[in-house]
Amino acid sequence: MSIITASQFDHLREMVLRESAIVLEPGKEYLVESRLAPIARREGLGSVSELVHKLMTSPSAKMTSEIIDAMTTNETSFFRDVHPWQTLKEEILPKLIESRRIDRRLSVWCAACSSGQEPYSLAMLLRDTFPDIVKSWDVTIIATDLSDSMLYRCREGVYSQLEVNRGLPAPMLVRNFQREGADWRIDPELRRMVDVRTCNLAVPNSYPRAASRFDLVFIRNVLIYFDEATKTKILNETSSRMQSDGYLLLGSSEVSISSATRLVRHQFGRTIYFQPS
């Protein structure tokens, strides 16, 4: 057995959709082959086809989770797209800080955080721009993902030279990271600002619970992997967990959302953001 068969591909597609809501379009067999080949090798199997055969005949929770993890796309970078971070600095965070000055509490959820560049970008931005708020307010950044390997990386907070070269200006790098061999480790204070947890966006019961509703939510560059009904469900579940004047940021290519969502679209500069209606 070598290349996966049509029925094996269908089995895998159904499993990935059921477990993660990720839609594997027909024709993505090559992607499946390249993503699952390392797992097949680790299992001592001769091919991906043998791996899928094993999954179909004697499935285990561990193998299912490893396959789902391998099928996630984890592309990310520090301060990705630049302009949303400018908008956070100039518009969103100042407004939130002004309206929360009595409660002195800021609650952020960074969903689908991948290896952590997004939540740590926010932690750096907050500490650099609003140091007094970070020191004296109750600031919580909950970072979640479905992928165990990405959650591990996010908890570690260690990045290669290539990764820090993507999006981090040199002064920011030396201010916020410590050298560790060839890599860079996030400053412990920033690490402590981020609470890393598992959450499958397809399963609302797994959404994080915060002390209060979220003031700011990031769901960036993940909705593209889901179908329209799933996107709408996720956005409605999310908006019900947000403060009525809270802010939601999506990926640049994800801002055309269904009118069935209870979200109102706003724009500041090049950044589109949403608020519960």
Ligand X SMILES: C[S@@+](CC[C@H](N)C(=O)[O-])C[C@H]1O[C@@H](n2cnc3c(N)ncnc32)[C@H](O)[C@@H]1O
Task: Name the residues that contact ligand X, by CB under 6 A.
Answer: 20-22, 72-76, 80, 112-114, 118, 145-147, 150, 199-202, 220-222, 225, 251
Q: How far is the CB of 234 from ligand X (least distance, A)?
A: 8
Give the phi and the psi of residue 213 in degrees, each rounded to 5: -65, 160
Residue number, 164 or 199, with CB nearest to ligand X: 199
Cβ atoms of residues 194 and 123 within 8 Å: yes
Q: Classify strands 138-145 and 194-198 as parallel, antiparallel or unpaired.
A: parallel
Distance CA 243, CA 126 (A): 20
Residue number, 1 or 202, with CB nearest to ligand X: 202
Look at residues 187, 205, 192, 191 and name the one whose alpha carbon lies nearest to residue 241. 205
Distance CA 226, CA 232 (A): 10
* H or E element that contains 276: strand 271-276
Residue number, 133 or 201, with CB nearest to ligand X: 201
Residue number, 5 or 34, with CB nearest to ligand X: 34
Residue number, 220 or 241, with CB nearest to ligand X: 220
Residue number, 221 or 239, with CB nearest to ligand X: 221
**Structure tokens that stand for 160 in this block:** 């290669």
Residue number, 177 or 207, with CB nearest to ligand X: 207
Q: How far is the CB of 58 from ligand X (least distance, A)?
A: 25
CA angle (34, 37, 40) in 5-degree steps: 160
Q: How far is the CB of 191 from ligand X (least distance, A)?
A: 18
Q: How far is the CB of 171 from ligand X (least distance, A)?
A: 22
Cβ atoms of residues 65 and 149 within 8 Å: no
Q: How far is the CB of 262 from ligand X (least distance, A)?
A: 21
Distances, alpha carbon 83 to alpha carbons 86, 138, 157, 272, in Å: 5, 26, 24, 10
Distance CA 172, CA 221 (A): 24
Helix axes 6-20, 29-42, angle to 10 degrees: 80
Q: How far is the CB of 71 from ligand X (least distance, A)?
A: 9
Q: How far is the CB of 248 from ligand X (least distance, A)?
A: 13
